[in-house]
Structure 1
Amino acid sequence: MKKNDKLFSRLEQLNVIGASLSKEHDTHRLIEAILVASKTITRADGGTLYLLTADRSALRFEIMRTDSLNISMGGTTGQPVTFPDLPLINSKGQPNTSMVAACAAIQGRTINIADAYMEEGFDFSGTRAFDEQTGYRSQSFLTVPMVNHEDELIGVLQLINAFDPVKREVISFSAADQSLAESLASQAAIALTNRQLIDQLEQLFESFINLINLAIDEKSPYTGGHCQRVPELTMMLAEAVEATTTGPLAAFAMTTADKHELKIAGLLHDCGKVTTPVHVVDKATKLQTLFDRIHLVDTRFEVLKRDAEIAALRQQLALRTKTDASAEVRVQNALAEQLRVLDADRDFLRQANIGSESMAASDQQRVRTIGTERQWRNVDGVQTEFLTAEEMENLTIRSGTLTQKERETINYHIVATNKMLEQLPWPKHLKRVPEYAGGHHERMDGKGYPKGLTREQMSIQARIMGIADIFEALTARDRPYKNGMKLSQAMKILADFKKNGHIDPDLFDIFVKQGVYQQYAERFLNPEQVDAVNEAELFM
């Protein structure tokens, strides 16, 4: 091949490399691709890519390759580069131009060295020490500053030992090599800057999401943990589904971008709770608003007891002239019985005020009886029913601590979530975030909310999030009205949800068979919650 043909071929190769760099989305792979491409196009045996530190005071070893020594550090290898940073200012406070990479960065020029051992003006003591330790011979160096489209230095590309494949020997880097390396370094700097900018924007976006969750957390400690745990469980189940090779979900797969999209949806799935009133979110007892009104009920009982004691004393005074001891005993016994009944009713209402999984109908009726048949004289001196209609409504709540109206207020958070998310100008790779996040209260049978979607109308990701949301809520130990549920009980409830069309049956099967619930329990549940689960019973 003629010399011009070779150069043209390398230029074509440069164009292909430049195009491929612009398509790489992972920073580590991008850095690796830059170094590998630079080595390939210049036929270098080794190379190092340095990036400028955040404070712009030094060059950090980001990736290093030496083919003949089989050295591969940084990038996607998982093997960190162990060399210290190269400072741009020396111990005397002067520019560190004795180090070739630092000099190229400081002066913004390419440095092409034929033989490091023969070159004067640079400190190659570290290079010599490396060579002595490895038996290597570092000879030709090509050090190129990486400057982006804003004329800003972001790093340095250093190539070592150009190799002549015909003569089978190390040679100097040619002018063509330098020109190609400089062109590639420029393209790489732009690609890397763009990638870093995108990464920074994504980090900023996630920070805003975490800021919303922090606001919810600060607003109510009972929901902050939920906002963090649901995304974790969502990703655990999604990865288990992806790993499944048999069954109806065997074809399910996610790219890195898909996983990021689902993670963002998980983090945002309850963002609408910023609109939910605190006294509803934190309602630990049935009579709680800004404070627990059971204490007002207690006060009424004290008034009734006082009235009973006063009535008894009046009866005793009326008997004083007759000196009827047996009659006084009867009055005392009657008072004691009245006080006993009042204390029993007060203890009952205190217990009724605490939310439970299910309140018996007989207990609900007892609340109504106490509320309507007992009378007390209020602060205005008016004889009235012992409990107000609103208090009876709260104290007869069958499950939990919320009235129907309060449940609707809580449920509105998903409507608010949808409104908030659907107004954002989502980029293409995050377009499905509103659908994933907004569907976690839908049911497979179409009886969920807010849209009443059926299984066929929902994505697998939204169905995954639905299971994660329910399981976290069942086992959460930081809710105001209940302790964390035992693992076996939570799994039994999920199995019932599968049977009645609440959750996706195929996803539930994977949730159980892949041991996702066990992995989650080990990470997030208290040890006393984690009991044995009979998996066979879950499929009966």
Structure 2
Amino acid sequence: MASPRQALQGKESSATHLARELEELNRIGIALAETRDIEQLLPLILRKAREIAGADAGSLYLVEQDRSALTGPRRSGDQRQARCLRLRLMQNDSVGVCFAEHTLPLRENSIAGYCALRGEVIELADAYQLPAGLPYPFNSMFDEQSGYRTRSLVALPMKNGKGEVLGVLQLINCKRNLRARLLTEADMAKSVQPFPPRSVRLGLSLASQAAVAYENSKLYGELANLFDGFVSAAVKAVEQRDPATSGHSQRVCHMTLALADAVDRVTHGPYADLHFSPAQRNELRYAALLHDFGKVGVREDVLVKAKKLYPLHFARVMDRFDYIRKEAEVRYLRQTLEVILSLPQNRAQGKMDEIDEQGARLFDELERCVELIRKANEPTVLPSAELAALREIARRTYLDPGGVEHPYLTAEEVRFLSIPRGTLDQTERLQIESHVMHSFNFLMQIPWTQELRRIPEIVRAHHEKLNGKGYPAGLTAGEIPVQAKIMTVCDIFDALSASDRPYKRAVPAERALEILQLCAREKEIDRELYRLFVEAKIYQRAAEPA
């Protein structure tokens, strides 16, 4: 009989052991909670379960919808027929594992299926010596193919907080010595033992933690997919309002990420110590895709304005000149008729020739006016002589049917046709530039996660220039996020080289690079990022899918 002192020492030892177990489970729980990527989480779950239970090998099954059953006939309310088990992972410390992920029916005629359906722990001292009457056999296919020998086995249901079984952890061959490799029957006899109650208890606790972590990871993935879908829909919404720029956001995104990767690889220069984590890269991806979303807040006619005059206004000018011509034709015909009726034939012919010459000169002049207006309406810079001729046209007048005098061109029409660059006047250009703040204000309404919180700031700065002459805030080099600097280089290149803008002609890639180089010299864009853009041939990625 143990002495009181021995009993006390035993209790202290047991308490210490329990504290260590709880501490280990807590560490594992933290590790599982911090791992969001399912492809990283599942191997971690199985490895930690094997470690805590002392298992040489193991496999992980997930319960999922059976798509083949869902597409075929199914009895109403029979949920089991719509589910299956997917073998997602196998690990083994003693032999190499080569397996193909596959599914099996969720039925009680397999160890994992029974565990999943009943939600019960299955413990086997020897998988080849099963008690009579069990509904499931042991599947020895892996042993036969690999030369391995399964002895002790425990199957643990992965239950979430609602008691639903999300998967099964199957642990194989509990080892007395964790470093031992099980290569022979002698190794098995020496090292393998049944899983002790402590290992089963710890494994079951970990299986529950794993189920919650898996469920959270799956939910996180679904939310990420949901947000990706929202971003894609947002980009399409912009493209539908401005079809001319279709594909721009995806191309900018693709080049931006490629340039960020190039920055990651540099070993010298100002960006040698700059590296983007996967989370920061994802943040940059979203920012690049959403950088023009604010265009939904810009008037559509301004957004897609291809010529200096809006189509309706240009048609009005053409109708006006058509009226002037027809009115002149009627006037000259009336004059001709008056000559015929009032003068003898020998005198009338000379007068009619004079009227015809006047008409021909006027019609030629009207044709030249129309051609000049058509030319001025294009997004090009007019030579000063033609600009003066345009103003001269505006000084000419005609009479409407009521006898009221009007100019050939209104002051507003002359102002638009005199736009020195592009198709937008100052007011319209400010409306286009407002898309940046529309984007920022929209993105600020989204409750971003900590990892994505800088997206609005990056987007707001993608039209800023290092010399402080950009918009909307006139930020200088030190105030502009490097992510925005990267995006700006790619955005400018695509705007120059893309053949999707009706108001400008695309320039060849070589010319676009020359313009970017000039921007770098003028300290509008980052010189080092421009160098990387050229050296890494990022511009060639514009044609690749994002």
Question: Shared fold (TM-score greater than 0.5)?
Answer: yes
Q: Classify the secondary structure of the residue corresponding to 1:53.
A: strand
| Residue 21 in structure 1 maps to residue 39 in structure 2 | no
Query: CA 1:151/1:389 → structure 2, altered by over 3 Å: closer, same or farther?
Result: farther
Shift, 1:11, TM fit? 5.4
| Residue 71 in structure 1 maps to residue 97 in structure 2 | yes
Shift, 1:480, TM fit? 2.7
2-structure distance, mates of 1:132, 1:212: 54
1:342 alignment partner in structure 2: 366
Shift, 1:425, TM fit? 3.5
1:274 alignment partner in structure 2: 296
Answer yes or no: is the 8 Å Cα contact 1:303–1:376 preserved in 2.
no
1-structure distance, mates of 2:425, 2:65: 54
2:217 alignment partner in structure 1: 195
Aligned pairs for 1:509-528 within 5 A: 509-521=531-543
Aligned pairs for 1:347-426 within 5 A: 347-356=371-380, 358-370=381-393, 372-378=394-400, 381-426=403-448
1:158 alignment partner in structure 2: 170
1:239 alignment partner in structure 2: 261
1:490 alignment partner in structure 2: 512
Cα root mean square deviation, aligned: 2.6
1:85 alignment partner in structure 2: 103
Shift, 1:17, TM fit? 2.1
1-structure distance, mates of 2:416, 2:400: 20
Q: Classify the secondary structure of the residue corresponding to 1:414.
A: helix
1:528 alignment partner in structure 2: none
The structure, 1 or 2, with the larger RCO (C-alpha pairs under 8 Å, 6+ apart) is: 2
2-structure distance, mates of 1:196, 1:366: 69
Answer yes or no: is the 8 Å Cα contact 2:252–2:542 preserved in 1.
no
- Superposed CA offset, 1:430-480 (max 9, x none): 222121111001110111111111001122112112212212211222223
Q: Classify the secondary structure of the residue corresponding to 1:210.
A: helix
Shift, 1:151, TM fit? 2.4
1:168 alignment partner in structure 2: 187
2-structure distance, mates of 1:20, 1:46: 21
Unpaired segments ≥5 residues, structure 1: 73-80, 89-95, 525-540
| Residue 41 in structure 1 maps to residue 52 in structure 2 | yes
2-structure distance, mates of 1:228, 1:522: 9
State TM-score, norm by structure 1: 0.86
2-structure distance, mates of 1:203, 1:252: 28
| Residue 460 in structure 1 maps to residue 482 in structure 2 | yes
Aligned pairs for 1:118-197 within 5 A: 118-119=129-130, 121-124=134-137, 127-165=139-177, 168-169=187-188, 170-197=192-219
1-structure distance, mates of 2:168, 2:84: 11
1-structure distance, mates of 2:366, 2:56: 92
Q: Classify the secondary structure of the residue corresponding to 2:448.
A: coil
Answer yes or no: is the 8 Å Cα contact 2:255–2:541 preserved in 1.
no
Which of 309, 330, 353 is the matching residue for 1:310?
330
1:336 alignment partner AA:
A
1:471 alignment partner in structure 2: 493
1-structure distance, mates of 2:418, 2:65: 61
1:225 alignment partner in structure 2: 247
For these two proteins, the number of residue pairs brought into alignment is 503
Answer yes or no: is the 8 Å Cα contact 1:360–1:398 preserved in 2.
no
2:112 alignment partner in structure 1: 101
Shift, 1:313, TM fit? 1.9
Answer yes or no: is the 8 Å Cα contact 2:36–2:220 preserved in 1.
no
Answer yes or no: is the 8 Å Cα contact 1:300–1:376 preserved in 2.
no
1-structure distance, mates of 2:117, 2:371: 80
Answer yes or no: is the 8 Å Cα contact 1:65–1:71 preserved in 2.
yes
1:129 alignment partner AA:
M
Query: CA 1:378/1:478 → structure 2, altered by over 3 Å: closer, same or farther?
Result: farther
Shift, 1:209, TM fit? 2.8
Q: Classify the secondary structure of the residue corresponding to 2:500.
A: coil
Q: Classify the secondary structure of the residue corresponding to 1:293.
A: helix
Q: Classify the secondary structure of the residue corresponding to 1:479.
A: coil
- Superposed CA offset, 1:289-321 (max 9, x none): xx4432222211211221222233233324423
Query: CA 1:64/1:330 → structure 2, altered by over 3 Å: closer, same or farther?
Result: farther
Answer yes or no: is the 8 Å Cα contact 1:285–1:292 preserved in 2.
no
Answer yes or no: is the 8 Å Cα contact 2:373–2:417 preserved in 1.
yes
Identity rate of aligned residues, in percent?
37
1-structure distance, mates of 2:208, 2:253: 39
Answer yes or no: is the 8 Å Cα contact 1:359–1:399 preserved in 2.
no
2-structure distance, mates of 1:133, 1:381: 103
2:73 alignment partner in structure 1: none
- Deviation larger for 219-228 or 146-155: 219-228
State TM-score, norm by structure 2: 0.85
Query: CA 1:269/1:522 → structure 2, altered by over 3 Å: closer, same or farther?
Result: closer
Query: CA 1:83/1:444 → structure 2, altered by over 3 Å: closer, same or farther?
Result: closer
1:437 alignment partner in structure 2: 459
Answer yes or no: is the 8 Å Cα contact 1:147–1:153 preserved in 2.
yes
Query: CA 1:83/1:504 → structure 2, altered by over 3 Å: closer, same or farther?
Result: closer
- Deviation larger for 313-322 or 342-351: 313-322
Q: Classify the secondary structure of the residue corresponding to 1:502.
A: coil
2-structure distance, mates of 1:261, 1:138: 47
- Superposed CA offset, 1:357-387 (max 9, x none): x3333333332222x2232334654220012
Shift, 1:327, TM fit? 4.2
